[in-house]
Amino acid sequence: MKFSAEQIAGIINGTIQGDPGVEITALAKIEEGKPGALSFLANPKYEEHIYKTESSICIVNKTFEPSNALPEGLTLIRVEDAYSCFAKLLEFYDTLSKEEPRIEPNAFIDETATVGEGIYLGASSYIGKNAKIGNNVAIYPNVTIGSNVVIGDNTTIYPSVTIYRDCIIGEHCNIHAGAVIGADGFGFAPNEKGEFQKIPQIGNVILEDYVDVGANTTVDRATMGSTVIRKGAKLDNLCQVGHNVEFGMNSAMAAQTGIAGSTKVGKNVLLGGQVGLAGHLKIGDRVMIAAQSGVGSDIAPDSKFMGSPAFESDEYKKSYLGIRRLPRILDRLKALEDKIKELTKD
């Protein structure tokens, strides 16, 4: 696919400095630019690369003023916010790479299922009894969609995803390869013999609109009721969400984060990589939890926590500084003890 500087400027409402007819066929980071590529410069940290990039077009902020000579033939497109405009172009490029509506060989649709218009259904995918698939949905190869599942319009489900029975997926969601939505929650109770007896998990999972689920992430079905991922939430790869969890609107978790059952996470919460939340907690709105933190108690809104066990980040930093100084403190204490012994000798 080819696009000219003039076409790109029209998409992002930019001003051209250079040749409006120059064309690009690829996107590239500015430090890896090559002829025929489009790059962008938003962070001043990377400004040095624009003076030696081989890209044909570069998107920059309107306020950008070169401090050195630009490469010959480089065309600039000036915009209000280079980063957001480049993101808009990535989104536009992504829409062009979507699969054309069709049903590939060996795909199975149960006769009781309802399928909307304009769907793509990849080879060897399975749609179960009474499932309802919306319009313009893309379901890639080897996806399994269980009975009574509902999938909203414009949602994309990538290869080898499994969505268990009764789950509800909203509109404009993206579920990446290998994710499992609606497997049983971890519910077992020891009986009189000390053996674990399984507790049936009869609830479901609800993903509201604009939710993204990363590759190989799992969201467990509720014991009763629903495990709910609220509108606009983002789950990275390799995350685990336990049964009856509620993950708040526009909240996000990074890779390898785990949330135990029945914990409620508020709006606009940010969880770093490998964060662990114990069960039955309440995490307030706008909380930030640093990577590898272990949380075992409720957290009030607008807090910042870190550490394992986690506590307020400012207090953690003070404690950490103390821990780093501990060897020196112990050496001084030992020297002081030796001095006292020397002074108190008979």
Active site residues: 243
Here the tokens at position 211 are 């939710």
Cα–Cα dist 83/87, whole Å: 6
Residue closest to 256 by CA, chosen among 281, 271, 239:
239
DSSP conformation class of 299: B
Cα–Cα dist 267/287, whole Å: 8
For residue 205, give the H/E element and its range. Answer: strand 204-207
Q: How far apart are the first and last CA of the chain?
A: 93
Q: Are 334 and 317 in contact (CB under 8 A)?
A: no
Q: Are 235 and 218 in contact (CB under 8 A)?
A: no
How many CA within 13 A on the CB side of residue 93? Answer: 17
Sheet-wide strand order for 226-229: 114-115, 132-133, 150-151, 168-169, 204-207, 226-229, 246-247, 264-265, 282-283
Q: Write the single-letter amino acid at 120.
A: Y
How many CA within 13 A on the CB side of residue 251? Answer: 26
Other residues' Cβ atoms within 10 Å of the Cβ of residue 160? 19
Cα–Cα dist 60/81, whole Å: 8
Contacts of residue 193, Cβ cutoff 8 Å, sequence gap at least 6: none
Q: Write the single-letter amino acid at 303.
A: S
